[in-house]
Structure 1
Amino acid sequence: MKINSLTLIIFTVATTIVFSSCEHERLEPVTTTADGGGTISSFLAYNIDSVGGQSTNIYGRVVFYKDNANNTLVQLALYNTMSGSEYPVSIVSGAKGSETEEILSLYDIKGDTGEFGESKFYVIGDPDYFSSISAMDAHINVYLSEDKNTIAASGDFGVNNDPVESE
């Protein structure tokens, strides 16, 4: 009888441990967002075209988003970039080909992904920037090297070009 009682106690303890360790706490989903978070619904998209004579055929798109905190988020997606290379990017005043002055230097594009290496978006904190894009006389350049002497791809935006997509 002692063996049966001991077996029953061990079985009860083992069963309790097994069933209590399999119990999962159900968590409710968090449906709120942090300040400035949420859905991005305003954007302007422009094409970036390969510059002839560079033998690169790099092209893509730049998209400007307005987030809920009134920041302008800039995202680039490029095709035909070379793995292991980095491509500096600048917003330059005037129409493409005029090469006047650099307005803003953005993150470098990683050749492995065709996107910014530092972050998915370059954030411009000026709350008026997004609303001024349509009136800007500017373009974006993607360069082959850090010295920014050779342009691989370029695209007009603002007064120089209509967006290919917007909302």
Structure 2
Amino acid sequence: MNRYFNKRSIFPLLGLLLSAVVFLSSCEQNKYEPNLSVAPGGGTVTTYKSYTLTSATGATVYGRVVFYKYNSSITLVEMGLYNTTLGTSYTSSIYQGKLADKLTTALKPLDAISGATGSFSSNKYFTINEAGFYDKLATYSANVKILSGTTVVASGDIGANAAPVAQSN
């Protein structure tokens, strides 16, 4: 005398359950191996030079800037900063001369840096589309500055003004 279950209501439920089991077990379940080959023209960039960015007086932001040679006409720039402030956007540029010279001529403005990640806001790499930039990097008298508003929070010499802290051939 159970009101909720009777012979009439159990048969449709059993039919539905059996149909679901048959449907789910009849699908082919092949395990495909991942395709580990690289698309033509793709791959890993292995030629790079890395420079240290140190904190400015009164600031705690520091990190590295890495220049990668993608090909003869494209140089990729990657920024990695520590102790950045969440919600703050930092500007970055390559400046003329040594840091000690305190020159304010920006040679190449780079992308904004996110305070949440310490890297470029829009892309992982900033692209410099200038033939031979990477090959001539060691001869440039330049530095990189990171600013919060108009205040320098981190900086470092690059090119002829500093030896790379890491590099590949």
SS of alignment partner, residue 123 of structure 1: strand
Give me the whole-angstrom Cα distance separating, in 1, the residues matched to 2:112 and 2:40: 28
In the other structure, the counterpart of 1:39 is 44
Distance 1:36 1:66, change over 3 A: farther
In the other structure, the counterpart of 1:105 is 109
Structure 2, gaps ≥5 residues long: 1-15
In the other structure, the counterpart of 2:146 is 142
Contact 1:71/1:123 (<8 A) preserved: yes
Give me the whole-angstrom Cα distance separating, in 1, the residues matched to 2:79 and 2:30: 41
In the other structure, the counterpart of 1:165 is 166
Matches within 5 A, 1:97-136: 97-98=100-101, 99-136=103-140
Contact 2:81/2:119 (<8 A) preserved: yes
Give the Å deviation of 1:28: 4.6
Residue of 75, 82, 85 corresponding to 2:78: 75
Q: Structure 1 length as normaliser, TM-score?
A: 0.81
Q: How many pairs are equivalent? A: 153
Give me the whole-angstrom Cα distance separating, in 1, the residues matched to 2:100 and 2:83: 22
Give me the whole-angstrom Cα distance separating, in 2, the residues matched to 1:69 and 1:34: 20
Give me the whole-angstrom Cα distance separating, in 2, the residues matched to 1:38 and 1:14: 45
Give the Å deviation of 1:64: 0.6
1:13-57 deviation per Cα after TM superposition (whole angstroms, max 9, x unaligned):
766523222x234445334333442011100000001111xx321
Give the Å deviation of 1:70: 4.9
1:17 aligns with 2:20: no
Give me the whole-angstrom Cα distance separating, in 2, the residues matched to 1:29 and 1:63: 31
Give me the whole-angstrom Cα distance separating, in 1, the residues matched to 2:24 and 2:156: 63
Give me the whole-angstrom Cα distance separating, in 1, the residues matched to 2:39 and 2:131: 18
Query: Which of structures 1 and 2 has the bigger CA Rg?
Result: 2
Q: Structure 2 length as normaliser, TM-score?
A: 0.80
Contact 1:91/1:138 (<8 A) preserved: yes
Give me the whole-angstrom Cα distance separating, in 2, the residues matched to 1:129 and 1:78: 23
Contact 2:72/2:132 (<8 A) preserved: no
Structure 1, gaps ≥5 residues long: 1-9
In the other structure, the counterpart of 1:51 is 56
SS of alignment partner, residue 126 of structure 1: coil
Q: CA RMSD in A?
A: 2.3
